Copies of this chain bind each other. A is one copy, B any other.
Amino acid sequence: MTRSAPARDLETRTADTLATLATPAVDVWVATASAGGAPHLVPVSLAWVDERVVIAVEASSVTARNLAASRVARLAVGPTRDVLMIDSVLEKAVGVADAEELATAYVGQADWDPRRSEGYVFLVLRPVRVQAWREANEMAGRTLMRDGAWLVARHDGGETR
């Protein structure tokens, strides 16, 4: 095994995480499950809008149907050795033609426009827990958000925790 870089601190991981989520054309792995316990997993583009992960999928897709029923998704962003894991809950599902502000934000970050296709919905996912790590030495201290609250003090007008 190659020698790992030093473990990043909470502030650095949080800053890296927010930068990753704001990256143009970044993708997210979306894991959901059916009521019967069948796992599903797909890669899709994401937009990071008002501290929410926004994805666009077909309303008839397994992902949309699973989320409508269970309201929960586990998300992963980044390669397997620089990973960001997000446990999230569905806040809102809305047809892409009925959400102009959201569509503008989504298209501004993603590299495609779901309004050009039929039957797509935006799923707005609210992070509940966020973890980030690179190698084994970063497993400790990997939690950046717990119960929907960032653990680091934020300087963007948000509450200091």
Binding site for B on A (CB under 8 A): 1, 27-29, 31-41, 43, 66, 69-70, 72-76, 79-81, 83, 85, 111-112
- Ordered by A's residue number, 5 sampled pairs between the chains whose C-beta atoms are within 8 Å are A1-B112, A33-B38, A39-B73, A41-B76, A43-B80
The 7 closest A-B pairs by CB, nearest first: A33-B33, A27-B80, A43-B80, A31-B41, A31-B31, A33-B39, A31-B39
Q: Cα distance A39–B39 when bound, in Å?
A: 6
Per the bound structure, the CA–CA distance linking A80 and B26 in Å amounts to 9
Asked if residues B79 and A79 are in contact (CB atoms below 8 Å), the reply is: yes
Q: Which of B36, B37, B40, B85 contacts A74 (CB 8 A)?
A: B40
Other A-B pairs, 9, CB within 8 Å; known A27-B81, A33-B37, A41-B75: A1-B112, A29-B41, A31-B41, A33-B33, A34-B37, A37-B69, A39-B73, A41-B41, A41-B74
Count copies of this chain in the complex: 2
CA distance A155 to B72 in the complex (A): 44
Shortest Cβ gap from A132 to chain B (Å): 12
CA distance A81 to B75 in the complex (A): 16
Partner of A72, one of B28, B35, B39: B39
Complex alpha-carbon distance, A40 and B41, angstroms: 10
Q: Smallest distance from the beta carbon of A110 to chain B beta carbons, Å?
A: 10
| Selected contact of A33 from candidates B34, B43, B81, B111, CB within 8 Å | B34
User: Cβ of A27: which chain B residues have Cβ within 8 Å of it?
Assistant: 80-81
